[in-house]
Amino acid sequence: MLKNRLRAAELVAQDFLKLENAADEAATLAATCMTTMLQQRAEANLPVATGVEALQLIADAAQDLVKARQRIVEAHGALVSVRSGIGLRAYRDESECPDMAGSAMNPTRLAVVA
C-alpha cells in the first residue's frame, strides 16, 4: 500500500512541477510579448495609440497568469497537507521546492506531494 502511495505521489509531483514551470513560462511570455509590441510600435514610428487595445488585452492576460501562478503556489501548500494525510511525511526533500517567502503562505519551504 505504501508503494502505491509513493508511486502516486511521484506521478503527481512530476506533473505538478511541469505545471509550475509552465505557469512561469506563460507569464514570462506575456511580459515579453508586451515588451516586443511596445518596442516594435516605436521602431516602426507608428502612432502611440496603435495596438493599444491589443496591448491592454495582453496586459490583462499577463495579470491573470500571475494570479494563476499564485493559485498554483497555494495548491503546492495544499499538497503538503495531503502528503501528511496519507502517511508520506518524509516524501521528497523540501529543498527541491521554490522559496515561498513573501507569498500568501507563511512556510518558507514546501514539498510536492500527491
Q: Which three cell numbers stand for residue 57?
A: 488585452
* pTM value > 0.85: no
What's the total number of domains in the chain? 1
Query: Which long-range contacts (C-beta less than 8 Å, at least 24 apart) are formed by 3-10?
Result: 5/86, 5/87, 5/88, 5/114, 6/88, 6/91, 8/114, 9/83, 9/86, 9/88, 9/91, 9/92, 9/113, 9/114, 10/114
Strands (DSSP E) found in the chain: none
pLDDT band at 104 (very low <50, low <70, confident <90, very high): very low
Average pLDDT score over residue span 5-22: 92
pLDDT band at 97 (very low <50, low <70, confident <90, very high): low
Task: Determine, yes or no, domain membership for 111.
Answer: no
Task: Determine, yes or no, domain membership for 66.
Answer: yes
pLDDT band at 83 (very low <50, low <70, confident <90, very high): confident
Parent domain of 45: 2-96
